[in-house]
Amino acid sequence: MSTLRSHSQTTLCGGDSSGLETERTLMPNTPKVCIQTTDMESKASAGKLSSEELAAIEDEEVLNKMMDTAADFEDRRLIRAALRDLLKRKRDKREQERGSRQQDLKEQVLSKGGGSTAARQQTATKKPGQPAPPAGGQASPSAASVQKCPPAAVPNAKNVKQMLLDWCRAKTEPYEGVNIQNFSSSWKDGIAFCALVHRFFPDAFEYSTLNPYKPRDNFQLAFSTAERLAGCPPLLDPDDLVRMSEPDWKCVYTYIQEFYRSLVEKGLVKTKKRL
């Protein structure tokens, strides 16, 4: 009897050990990124994060989540500063990449642009209405096509500004109390900012409760919501806007541009145009 009990105990113990090894084998390794993110969030909730640690975070979603969980004012200030720096670095990188692409395109156009020096000189010195004489007895088809094609229409700053104004007007058209005609006086009570933000984040706040006679509250609500949900940096200060009789159109225009780009990056605006 004792032999049977001893054998059963040995079998049971052996089974547990094998199961444990199987579990260890099948258990997936926890990604280091998740561990680091969880560690950062726990530090943020405990108020132990330094500005250097925050600056090392490259994911704005992580910073936004840390902002939501942070309870201390100083921690929130550090996280907000790190988020602004991260967005600025990303924006600078985009501008640098766009500049590089434009430079490459310019070099390609210059390298492919054709015609001999003599042909260009003849084109420059010919009289108005006089056809350009062929270089070398016969003009090449590529040169003829270049002469016939009109210059491509490139949108200037005025066109881009009008396009952005039309976009704002279209997005806020259903909202009561909003009549966007410019980038200055149309935004002075903050209602237009709130309407534009509410159009993309309707669950963020109740639009019908806004008061046009409380512009500072409206500015603060719009900017904080855009920062929290769209990742748009608060480039405008509510107190400065309240002190002005009318907002500076350049400041409003710059902020709306940044808000638009933030929506594009979030996938909330589908477009190939960059305003």
Distances (CA, A) of 112 to 106, 116, 123, 151: 10, 12, 18, 16
CA dist 43 and 56 (Å) reads 14
Average pLDDT for 98-104: 76
Distances (CA, A) of 61 to 34, 69, 77, 112, 225: 13, 13, 17, 44, 15
- Domain assignment of residue 2, yes or no: no
Q: What domain count does the chain have?
A: 2
CB of 84 closer than 8 Å to CB of 60: no
Mean pLDDT of the chain: 75
- Domain assignment of residue 81, yes or no: yes
Are residue 81 and residue 161 in the same domain, yes or no? no
- Domain assignment of residue 134, yes or no: no
Q: Is the pLDDT of residue 218 over 90?
A: yes
- Domain assignment of residue 8, yes or no: no
Q: Is the pLDDT of residue 200 over 70?
A: yes
CB of 232 closer than 8 Å to CB of 240: no
Contacts of 114 (CB under 8 A, 6+ apart): 140, 142, 143, 146
Highest mean pLDDT, choosing among 38-42, 52-56, 81-85, 196-200: 196-200
Convert the pLDDT of each residue in 238-269 to its tens digit: 999 999 999 999 999 999 999 999 999 999 99
Are residue 161 and residue 80 in the same domain, yes or no? no
Residue 129 is given by DSSP the state: T
- Domain assignment of residue 273, yes or no: no
pLDDT at 3: 39
Highest mean pLDDT, choosing among 48-52, 124-128, 196-200: 196-200
Convert the pLDDT of each residue in 58-85 to its tens digit: 887 788 788 778 777 788 888 888 888 8
Contacts of 60 (CB under 8 A, 6+ apart): 83, 86, 87, 231
Percentage of residues in the chain with pLDDT exceeding 90? 39
- Domain assignment of residue 123, yes or no: no
Q: Is the pLDDT of residue 7 over 50?
A: no
Percentage of residues in the chain with pLDDT exceeding 70? 62
Average pLDDT for 88-104: 79
- Domain assignment of residue 38, yes or no: yes
Convert the pLDDT of each residue in 112-152 to its tens digit: 655 444 445 555 554 455 555 555 555 455 444 444 444 44
pLDDT at 104: 75
Q: Is the pLDDT of residue 99 over 80?
A: no
What is the extent of the structural domain holding 78? 31-85
Lowest pLDDT segment from 64-68, 174-178, 214-218, 230-234: 64-68
- Domain assignment of residue 91, yes or no: no
Are residue 250 and residue 161 in the same domain, yes or no? yes
pLDDT tier, 188 (very low <50, low <70, confident <90, very high otherwise) = very high
Domain of 166, CATH number, reads 1.10.418.10
